[in-house]
Amino acid sequence: MTVTIANRYEPTGNTDAGGMGEILECVDLHLKRRVIIKRLQLGIDERRLLDEQKALVKVRSKHVVQLYDIVELDSGKKANKAIVLEYIDGNNLAIGAFAPDRTYLGVIWQIACGLRDIHHAGVIHRDIKPTNIRLDSEGVVKIIDFGLARSRDEAKTRGVVGTPVFMAPELWGNDTVSFNSSIDVYAFGVTALALLNQRVPAELGSMPPKPVSVSSLVATFPKIPNEIMATLVSCLEHTPAHRPTMAAVQKIIERRLLENAHRALVVMDGKIHHLDSKSRKITLNAGSVGSIAIEYNGYEFTVVTVSGNVFINNTVAKMGTSMPGCCVITFGTGSNRRFVTFDVSHPEVMP
């Protein structure tokens, strides 16, 4: 027999296997769509969890699941609060599911974007791991299962029986240790490695985790670009303060996703030239006044040679100067100055 919840949510009978009955899939009879209802555990954490859920609504991140409603669940003795969330059509991420390719980088970039948004709302997720991240049918990463009823003690207990590998070293300490959003950064680092189809180094899997050497990580994941690996290594720092912010991590991955995708439009004397990954270098000559050569290195456009009087946005052009996004290159100083426009653009990285 199914009981309709709050006069509008009818259980479909599907429950999350790992959820031990905490998670109910229902149909919202008002809007004829599926929703997910999650029971909050009784106790002091209920208020904190509801406050966090409300804080997350205000961030309006595309990577956070929408909260629709808060209802009372009758569970025999006591009324128990539950949250009604949007149903995400898609699949949870699985350990070992990705090859180290562009698709993978796109996914970890989205996870980083989501965690940046969550931290921006002042919320710590507390349980980042592949199975708490869902990829919806439009290819958008959704971070799910927000630290629901997982106080630090519980996380510890659960960890030992379940998923210790994602827990930051400081969580393994004594009960009085405090933690901050950098535990999510650590968990992100482990998650990013666990998603790859290679075994993570044993140091990460020991309880508590041991520091892992850069050389063993590089040897295990040779196809991960250097700067991405360096970032993941810093996420795994045992000193929380040494871990980067998720905003910084997101920027580094985004830069990589734009590798070789930029384009510069160069207009000299009304003539249009393009610089991109296929045509990387241009030399601009203004007779005896000066000349400049600019080359694309896959990330930015830099001055490789310059001679005579050449200025970029009115600053003397020097070898190694990186071109500002949009600028004017000026040859000469007098009334016979010649101007060249140089505009850098790139595709927008979007989920």
Q: Which of 170, 148, 63 is nearest to 108 (CA)?
A: 63
Stretch that binds other proteins, among 151-159, 198-206, 213-221, 326-334 (CB under 8 A): 326-334
Stretch that binds other proteins, among 109-117, 154-162, 238-246, 343-351 (CB under 8 A): 343-351
Q: Which of 262, 332, 235 is nearest to 292 (CA)?
A: 332
Q: Which of 114, 112, 81, 90 is nearest to 5 (CA)?
A: 81
Contact with other proteins (CB under 8 A): which of 325, 333, 336, 337?
A: 325
Report in angstroms how near the CB of residue 88 gets to other proteins at its nearest.
Answer: 8
Taking phi over 0 as left and psi of -120 to 50 as alpha, with beta for the rest, 205 belongs to alpha
Decide if residue 57 touches other proteins (CB under 8 A).
yes
Beta-bridge partner residues of 286: 290
Contact with other proteins (CB under 8 A): which of 2, 14, 18, 31?
A: 31
Instruction: Please give the positions annotated as active site.
Output: 127
Find the binding residues for other proteins in span 229-268 (CB under 8 A): 261-263, 265, 267
Query: Is the distance from CB of 155 to CB of 173 less than 8 angstroms?
Result: no
Q: Which residue has the tokens 């000559």?
A: 285
d(CA 314, CA 24): 63
d(CA 11, CA 28): 9
Report in angstroms how near the CB of residue 252 gets to other proteins at its nearest.
Answer: 18
**Total chain residues near other proteins (CB under 8 A):** 47
Report in angstroms how near the CB of residue 22 gets to other proteins at its nearest.
Answer: 21
Q: Where are the alpha helices (DSSP H) in 179-261?
A: 182-194, 202-205, 214-220, 226-235, 246-257
Report in angstroms how near the CB of residue 345 gets to other proteins at its nearest.
Answer: 4
Find the binding residues for other proteins in span 107-146 (CB under 8 A): 136-138, 140
d(CA 253, CA 3): 47
Residue number with CB closer to other proteins (261 or 293):
261
Contact with other proteins (CB under 8 A): which of 14, 33, 214, 318?
A: 33
Query: Is the distance from CB of 187 to CB of 168 less than 8 angstroms?
Result: yes
Stretch that binds other proteins, among 51-59, 91-99, 122-130, 231-239 (CB under 8 A): 51-59
Binding pattern to other proteins, positions 63-102, x when CB under 8 A?
A: ---xxxxx---------------x-xx-------------
Contact with other proteins (CB under 8 A): which of 20, 32, 44, 153?
A: 32
Buried b / exposed e across 195-216, counting CB within 10 Å, b at 16+?
bbebebbeebeeeebeebeeee
d(CA 20, CA 33): 23
Report in angstroms how near the CB of residue 205 gets to other proteins at its nearest.
Answer: 36
Find the binding residues for other proteins in span 144-203 (CB under 8 A): none
Summarize as ranges the residues that interact with other proteins (CB under 8 A). 30-33, 53-54, 57-58, 60, 62, 66-70, 86, 88-89, 136-138, 140, 261-263, 265, 267, 270-272, 274, 313-315, 324-328, 341, 343-348, 350
